[in-house]
Amino acid sequence: MSGPRDIRREYTGKHRRDSGPGVLPPAWGGRAEPMPDNTLAAQIMVIAKEPVPGRVKTRLTPPYTPAEAAELAEAALTDTLAAVGSAVVARRVLALAGTPGRWLPPGFDVIGQRGGGLDERIAWALADARAASPAPLVLIGMDTPQVTPALLARATEPLVSGAADATFGPAEDGGFWLLGLREIDPALVLGVPMSRLDTGARQLARLREAGLRVRMLPELADVDTADEAERIAAATPGSVFAACVKVLGPRAARPLVVAG
């Protein structure tokens, strides 16, 4: 694996990789039908892990079992991919750690993740997406099943029109749930400390220090705890995620009530 210095050199400059070991064959995705006239000349990428027990949503265990946490992860990913699938954009990409499963709808190009920490994996995914298309890109994770096509449009349209250089969606836990870039530059993410209370603030500062005009999006909650899972499920009736939470039953911590 290349060190951070080698990675940064490959990410920046005019000469970029045309392909890489993380790119899967086009047979995994693609779109046969013609695109609507109102299609935005942009791409939306979901960065995700294959929902395998013990490898996803580990912060949900306990109170959920590893298998139940994987069910919730698959449900969240299913809803996320459905929202992206309904977005009227030229390209949809899944940057996946693992193997595609029954939850993957048609119309997505799938690329493999590579790199060490999350910042490297995001940066490589951006670089691989840029090698296929220079169109503006919106990146989201699999932790916000409450995302909607309307929210994705709000993130994408300013990039295509030139009204903004970046769009940014902060997360309640201090991270971020969405990052959009008019010009894809993986170096904007590389080196940002991830999974910290100040990750979102640091990433936003990186964008602004680069002189980018940033359009902010609403703050959303990630699915990291049982309380968050039940709160998000309640806010998204009819979603696959809400149905999964209901089937698994309540697990969130309840306040202790003392009889007087």
Percent of the chain having pLDDT more than 70? 83
Residue 14, pLDDT > 60, answer: no
- Predicted confidence band at 254 (pLDDT cuts at 50, 70, 90)? low
| This prediction's pTM | 0.84
Task: Write the pLDDT tens digit of every residue in 118-140.
Answer: 999 999 999 999 999 999 999 99
State whether residue 239 is helix, strand or coil: coil
Q: Which two tokens stand for residue 74?
A: 């698959």
Task: Write the pLDDT tens digit of every residue in 27-76.
Answer: 333 444 555 668 999 999 999 999 999 999 999 999 999 999 999 999 99
Q: Do you find a cis peptide bond into 218, omega within 30 degrees of 0?
A: no
Task: Write the pLDDT tens digit of every residue in 153-200.
Answer: 999 999 999 999 999 999 999 999 999 999 999 999 999 999 999 999
What is the C-alpha R_g of the chain?
18
Q: What are residue 30's phi and psi, to 5 degrees?
A: 110, 170
- Predicted confidence band at 259 (pLDDT cuts at 50, 70, 90)? low
